[in-house]
Chains A and B, each alone.
Chain A
Amino acid sequence: GAVVSQHPSWVICKSGTSVKIECRSLDFQATTMFWYRQFPKQSLMLMATSNEGSKATYEQGVEKDKFLINHASLTLSTLTVTSAHPEDSSFYICSARSGRDYNEQFFGPGTRLTVL
């Protein structure tokens, strides 16, 4: 149980275009989802926290107009990178937690974004 999927697993796009990444909890309802960014050989950096049906809370320094997060249902959250630039190239990972144990987060497999 507790499986989280991400789609796509990798994406290449041109500078200036927008890219949408989906995060789904497959076998549980996720009251909260998290979006992380990870640079090579570095730790995970929390970008934002989203609760179903409400606006996401962004971490300091993360542009909310650039990284649009929508948590429309208890099993789906999306991250849209708008007007992507090469510096947005990174590994994006989502995680989800149910209402049972607030500490436990289940992670998706990640999405590799390359902006040309």
Chain B
Amino acid sequence: QQQVKQSPQSLIVQKGGISIINCAYENTAFDYFPWYQQFPGKGPALLIAIRPDVSEKKEGRFTISFNKSAKQFSLHIMDSQPGDSATYFCAASNKDSNYQLIWGAGTKLIIKP
């Protein structure tokens, strides 16, 4: 019940296209859903996060869509650029788990020029 399932494992998108990565969770107590971006050999960096009281959050080209009833959330990268090529991780946390992040398996995104 603590799992966060992420798909796809890898994704290739043309420059300028929309990249979409999906995550699903079981624990309805989760109340914080961040997305992290990680470049090779670097630590993850927080990209954008959402709480379950809103269905969408947008920051620049990055948007999180959140579907509470389906227990799913997704990351949309608009106008994808080669510099967006990285591994993306979704995660979830809540107070009951001492705010420990439960991680998805990651998605390797490649943006083709």
Enumerate chain A interface residues (CB-CB to B < 8 A): 4, 6, 34, 41-44, 46, 49, 91, 93, 95, 97, 102-110, 112
Nearest CB in chain B: distance from A61 CB, A: 15
- A-facing mask of B87-112, CB < 8 A → 1, else 0? 00100010100111101111010000
Residue in A42, A46, A105, A109 whose beta carbon sits within 8 Å of that of B42 in the complex: A109
Enumerate chain B interface residues (CB-CB to A < 8 A): 32, 34, 36, 41-46, 49, 89, 93, 95, 98-101, 103-106, 108
Nearest CB in chain A: distance from B10 CB, A: 10
| Residues of chain A contacted by B103 (CB below 8 angstroms) | 43-44
| Residues of chain B contacted by A6 (CB below 8 angstroms) | 43
Question: Is the pair B100, A46 in contact by a Cβ cutoff of 8 Å?
Answer: yes
Residue in B32, B44, B105, B106 whose beta carbon sits within 8 Å of that of A107 in the complex: B44
Question: Is the pair B106, A43 in contact by a Cβ cutoff of 8 Å?
Answer: yes
Question: Is the pair B98, A43 in contact by a Cβ cutoff of 8 Å?
Answer: no
Nearest CB in chain B: distance from A8 CB, A: 13
Q: How far is the CA of A103 from the CA of B42 in the complex (A)?
A: 21
Question: Is the pair B95, A43 in contact by a Cβ cutoff of 8 Å?
Answer: no
Question: Is the pair B95, A102 in contact by a Cβ cutoff of 8 Å?
Answer: yes
- Having A95-B43, A103-B93, one finds 11 other A-B pairs with CB under 8 Å, namely A4-B43, A42-B106, A43-B104, A46-B101, A93-B43, A102-B95, A103-B49, A107-B45, A108-B43, A110-B42, A112-B41
Q: How far is the CA of A103 from the CA of B99 in the complex (A)?
A: 6
Nearest CB to that of B36 among chain A residues?
A107
Residue in A34, A43, A108 whose beta carbon sits within 8 Å of that of B105 in the complex: A43
| Residues of chain B contacted by A109 (CB below 8 angstroms) | 42-43
Nearest CB in chain A: distance from B104 CB, A: 7
Nearest CB in chain A: distance from B113 CB, A: 23
